[in-house]
Chains A and B, each alone.
Chain A
Amino acid sequence: MEIWRRLKFAFRRREFESDLEEEMRFHLEMKAQKTGDRDQARKQFGNVGILKEVSREMWGWSTIERLFQDLRYALRQLARNPGFAAVAILSLALGIGANTAIFSLIDHVMLRLLPVSHPEELLVIRRHYSYPRFEELRDRNQAFSAMFGTHSMSGMEVKTGDATSRVAGELVSGNYFSALGVGATIGRMILPGDDRAAESGPVAVVSHAYWKRAFAGSADVLGRKIQVRSGMGDADTYGLDVYDAGHHASAEGAVLTIIGVAPPEFFGDTVGTVTDIWIPITMQPAVMPGRPFLTQKYAQWVNIMARCKPGVSFEQAHASLDVTWRQIITDAEGAKITETRKREIAGATLLVDSGEKGFGQIRREFSQPLLVLMTVVGLVLLIACLNVANLLLARATARRREIGVRLSLGAGRVRLIRQLLTESLVLAILGGVMGVLIAFIGARVLIAMLAGVGESISIPFETDFRTLGFTMGISILTGVLFGLAPAFRATRITLAETMKETSRGAAGAGRVGAAKALVAAQVAVSMLLLIGAGLFLRTLYNLKTQDVGYNPDHLVLMRVDPVGAGYRGDEVGRAMQSLLDRVRIVPGVRVATFSENGLFSGTESGAGIENVEGFTPSSDRDRATRYDQIGPQYFTDLGIPILLGRDISERDLPGAPRVTVINDTMAKFYFKGVSPVGKHFTADKVVLEVVGVVRDAQDHDFRAEPVRRFYVSYFQPIDGITTANFEVRTVSNPGSVMAMLRTEAQSFNRNLPILSIKDIRELMDADLVAERLIAKLSGFFAALAILLAAIGLYGVMSYAVSRRTNEIGIRMALGAGASSVVAMILGEVIVLIGAGAVVGSVAAFGLTRLIESFLFGLTAADPISFGAAAVLLLVVGALAGYLPARRASKIDPMIALRYE
């Protein structure tokens, strides 16, 4: 009711106003009639204007009215100073835009929950597991209402009719959708009955987006048949046995019937990736011909997620899971379990993460870099705020008279502060609106950088409510932040002061002091950002120029899938040797060899070795090694120096003595000082004789310390071969050779899947995505910061010079030369920068420790980064200060003296 009366007032306020006016006129006349003194009556009545305003306030609309009044006034003020408005809004837009862009990524990568029911109950087990292990865990665990496995296949081939395309497929347990609580848009989802036995459920569920894209959203998608096939997938499928002669799956892949469409919001279970097709996990052998993983104990390929029973906490579930896990691995040891092993198992634990945000590959990789970047852009925004605060301060000085007059005419200080704050909020919100546009472009660039090379990361940047809310929030926060102090300062004056002072009087002194403090603060924050950027850039440089043990120039890696082509057993090695012979004579190829895991491929093999001659391991950890299976002349062709003995050769064939070449780290660890050549050890039940020692090389990683690594002949594999990576050294630019390599491989066997052909630099870059992202962006933002600081510095010094025109004129009249005036002004600039730089360095000294783990080849107190930042600041600062200094030196004493 009351609200209705208020609304009526709002819409018919003209009528209400005239009513009130007439009523008061009547009152006044009655009063005058009674007393007979019109003037006396009016005096008693008081200020009609104020009375009307107070009466109006009773209706509760005045706050909004005043806001509109203030807004109109603020916009008028800004329109009157377009230059000021443009600089202020642009500074803020850059700051806010950068923050919004990074926030939208953080939101998607780190904050969003999976679009499933009760995501907080989910738990993810890190790493991959074999299918039998997964089944054991699933069947024996106590703490979960459901446990399910998945395996994603990013480049799965799909044939619909004649068309073949590559999509993101995922193998999932039958209980996947029911456990997540995701229902079908049409049709049905995969059900527990679909994964009962191997290859028993030839069905598929498609995503809403894929349904729209590939089937035009038509309902007759249900019942359609598709043929799918996948190569290696993404799992580190090391140690897996593919010599499964009894298996006769069609190399064509699996034919599946589409049974349902997922809801539009369900993108999958992994942040940053979008799944197109889900298939029952038991269809794996058919989907990946030649790789019957379901029964393999050594193929580690299943991701595991589970839903805690209601009332079971994450910690309880983890503890219970560990108990189950220890039982499983104890049982696997059998009766001959040693005491050492028992003790080891007692301490065994599974690494788990909360599953509310899904599988967290990207989150783990990018969380920290994104937080570092959020800090960086936060600092940039701080600099932008300081800049705008400085501009506002300057303007407040220009408006001293206006404010003084308004105060003396009875405007309340609070009212004036509110007016000034409204102006800064208008600036901030305009900056925010522009910031969203900048963020929209910026986020695209960022995502492209995140995606790196060849990886498909899809993070949609949408201007959704969360992001817009964040932008709105920081805009208002910044508006208050940079507006409050100048507003308080500006209204702390009396009319008497204003009237007394001349336009360039003493009152400016305080303002210059405050402005200089703000600029020094900007310099300090810029210094911090510059040092950070220096550290990150130097880290990237150190990583990129690190000696990996071989020359990465003109080196091409071609990855093929001989198993997918149907080769089995010793055929694999023979076929790859034949292909190598053909690759070696391709024009432009200098040398070529091959290995199973290749270089920087993301695939790695590991083994616990036994019976090392002359070495007694003190724990399992001492037995851990990495290995690769390599083609002939591998080290010679790659240029990795052989320190002792010989390379693997064409004669290390099946049936010949089993040999191995070990790296320097491994030689030193196991054979301390004794020549390892001729010594033996056992890997995966195969006794190997060491025939050579090679220098350490970084096979897969820039950062890792050299690990113990041994190499066996590709023709004498110890665990079966899954792929071949050809390392091809070209004479010149590899671009043209890559195309010929593809043709050659296809003409060799057109059924041989070519998984990729890439310059190793591309693969290496993919390993440095996070480092490059941080280095580039922190460099970019440091440049932005220094630009903003330079603008601030220029503004302050210009103002200081104009204020001292008179003084400088006198100095020059007394004989000071132009150069000494320039020196005087520049001296002030340098003091200002020096003060800021010192503060910034001290802050950096404390803060850079926090990013120590990101650095490589330098310490957090790297003198080069600190020094370079200081020099850069001084140079840019001196340039910004030089223009006002030169203007000062051009002052004509005669004019200056008359200036006042």
Chain B
Amino acid sequence: MRIEIPPGTLYMLILKTLARYGPMHGYGIADQIQQVSDEVLQVEEGSLYPALQRMLVKGWVLAEWGQSENNRRARFYRLTAAGRKQLAAEISEFQKVTRAITRVIQPA
């Protein structure tokens, strides 16, 4: 079963993926998130590319052209220092929210 990525967490997922595996192209990021989440999370292309553009605007990632694993020209995204800071902030925020939600829904 595939479920939609909760709103607002896509940036975090992308940032984390780049932080863990280093520079990656768009397709790679989407593929990676899908694999790591055991096919639960599917990144729609319709959200991925606008999100990447937004992150470029914000300066969280840099894009540069390079060679892909099958020797094709591909655009690689690399985390910046600002991106790393953003990732930390998003993770702590996310954990705060999940802990709070858990407290609310756990059985008494």
Contacts and interface: CB of A to CB of B under 8 A. Distances in A.
A23 B75 contact: yes
A24 B52 CA distance: 12
Nearest to B58: A2
Interface stretch (A26-34, A652-660, A771-779): A26-34
B26 A27 contact: yes
Contacts of A22: 73, 75
A333 interface: no
A457 to B, nearest CB: 58
Interface in A45-67: 45-46, 50-51, 54-60
Contact of A45 (B25, B45, B57): B45
Given A5-B57, A5-B59, A26-B68, A54 B46 contact: yes
Interface in B21-79: 25-27, 30-31, 44-46, 49-50, 52-54, 56-59, 63, 65, 68, 72-75
Contacts of B53: 20, 55-56, 58-59
Contacts of B46: 46, 50-51, 54
Interface in A1-43: 1-2, 5-6, 9, 19-20, 22-24, 26-27, 29-31, 34
Interface of B: 25-27, 30-31, 44-46, 49-50, 52-54, 56-59, 63, 65, 68, 72-75
A401 B49 CA distance: 36
A27 to B, nearest CB: 4
B26 A58 contact: no
17 contacts: A2-B57, A5-B56, A5-B57, A6-B57, A19-B65, A20-B49, A23-B25, A24-B49, A27-B27, A29-B72, A30-B27, A30-B31, A34-B31, A51-B50, A54-B50, A55-B52, A58-B57
A491 to B, nearest CB: 27
Nearest to A34: B31
A22 B25 CA distance: 12
Nearest to B65: A19
Nearest to B82: A1
Given A23-B26, A44-B45, 15 more contacts: A19-B63, A20-B49, A22-B73, A26-B25, A26-B74, A27-B25, A27-B27, A30-B27, A31-B27, A34-B31, A46-B44, A54-B46, A55-B52, A58-B50, A60-B57
A30 B45 CA distance: 13
B74 A51 contact: no
A54 B56 CA distance: 14
A51 B45 contact: yes
A19 B75 contact: yes
Nearest to A23: B75
A2 B46 CA distance: 24
Nearest to A1: B59
A27 B59 contact: no
Interface in A291-305: none
Interface of A: 1-2, 5-6, 9, 19-20, 22-24, 26-27, 29-31, 34, 44-46, 50-51, 54-60
Contacts of B49: 20, 23-24, 51, 54-55
Nearest to B45: A45
A46 to B, nearest CB: 5
A500 B98 CA distance: 55
Give me the 3 closest cross-chain CB pairs, A-B, nearest first: A58-B53, A58-B54, A30-B27
B65 to A, nearest CB: 8
A50 B50 CA distance: 11
B82 to A, nearest CB: 9
A15 to B, nearest CB: 11
Nearest to B53: A58
A34 B30 CA distance: 13
B59 to A, nearest CB: 6
Contacts of B27: 26-27, 30-31
Nearest to B55: A58
B66 to A, nearest CB: 12
B73 A26 contact: yes
Most chain-B Cβ atoms within 10 A of its Cβ — which of A20, A23, A60?
A: A23
Contacts of B54: 58
Contacts of A30: 27, 31
B50 A26 contact: no
A2 B74 CA distance: 25
B30 to A, nearest CB: 8
A208 to B, nearest CB: 52
A55 to B, nearest CB: 4
A286 to B, nearest CB: 76
Nearest to B68: A26
A55 B44 CA distance: 13
A59 B63 CA distance: 15
B63 to A, nearest CB: 8
A51 B48 CA distance: 10
A56 B52 CA distance: 11
Nearest to A58: B53
A2 B27 CA distance: 26
Nearest to B49: A55
A54 B73 CA distance: 24
